[in-house]
Structure 1
């Protein structure tokens, strides 16, 4: 059902974009809007992962890192039946993580140093599994496209003030002003709705990948507590990337309202607890992500 909902929301975003093009310049505006969207999405498709990692000053992690993070990611990727993504660490005390990339063959998982310090190995495995689920479900590509559409819609809406209110048969000044306000708002609401839909799906798939729903449930509670009191300065400078994180780095809302990029953490934890209660040991493989001991917290990331 989540895929159907995502498809409907993506169609709504596309229709909104093309509709603005039509209001601005008639049938020709639809063509211009389509070409503009194609160009922006092509650029984002090939470059968004590198751009996002650079925005957050993420540094790559080698296969022999002392923390065992790469080993854990490799084991969980094997459980998920997908290629191992590149692994990055972000130097910030806020516990958080995100995934990026256009497909499972070109993807990356980034975790913060705060996450490494805050979570146990099992909880960290739950978070990594959640991010791998986003990659396997192609959520990273979907969110790249929706973010690009949202930015393009805002740009077209600004054009409305200069062109929509001036040409013959145009929107008029009042109509142009209304479009400037309402179109970006509508695009943002659709983008947030898609993000919330994909989070619930990734929570469930992540629990299946790591083998224990309560690992992720416990991690979410700790991440929420940390994100609500510790600033993530890179995320504050780049708020458009907030929907990528497992918990809103800009301090998540308490309810699944229209203006939140993530579902309420309490609701996600409740869903995972229900999944744990309904799942027998035979229905979810209990393969642990790694047999190694706890990561060395005294190392360079500790």
Structure 2
């Protein structure tokens, strides 16, 4: 696994949901804050996104993609709505297509949500801005454009195509990866685009993520990265925000928490997979990080 894949996998739970919608005329709808991430793809027409809290309105055109990675509340509207219109915005769940809306309605949107567990968000995901706007520009992010095209085609006849129940959520998962990739390419500033652009830090992170249970040490990791221990510390720690072995400990405990959430694996198995020699060793470290024992953590998730 690479860092981006692991960062997404650690927080993503369940299956994404989506809704395709055609609207026209004057319209304004509110999407409440959500414990996850929201996204919109403009399949046709244009509209505006108005973030809660007075953020700058974002003009969206056909082919644009927008990700709200922290589930921020916002309004979608046919134009840059004023305060009175925003106050009267219809809840998104109540927004309906006008009767007899033609297939080529004025605005066609694909709106959806990803469920995320925010109890142990990777710093890469935490760094994403409240709104990630990815305009449709010729030659930019071809894989993202291809995913949008595939989604649009799948949605044209989703109910009647064999395998649609698997294809659609898989394409939505792929869309999330491509949106984050595109943000990393576009970001003018940001810690993690810089981290993953540094060959020493990237090689070290890839090694830790590929085999987190290995008996890593600073010397062994430096050798894997092809640098001295001093060079590894100088390049890794300022960029990632913690020393290599501290990052490894945090990541091992994050993996253990994910396994406790997603599986019924015995504690001994979880401990071995996370690089701990015994359930006791894992329990001691886990309680220090999360404030509860692994067993109690699993029970709370299922209460």
Same fold (TM over 0.5): no
* The structure with more strand, counted as a fraction of residues: 2
* The structure with more helix, counted as a fraction of residues: 1
Larger radius of gyration: 2
Class of the TM-score when normalised by the shorter of the 2 chains: under 0.3
TM-score by length of 2: 0.25
TM-score by length of 1: 0.25
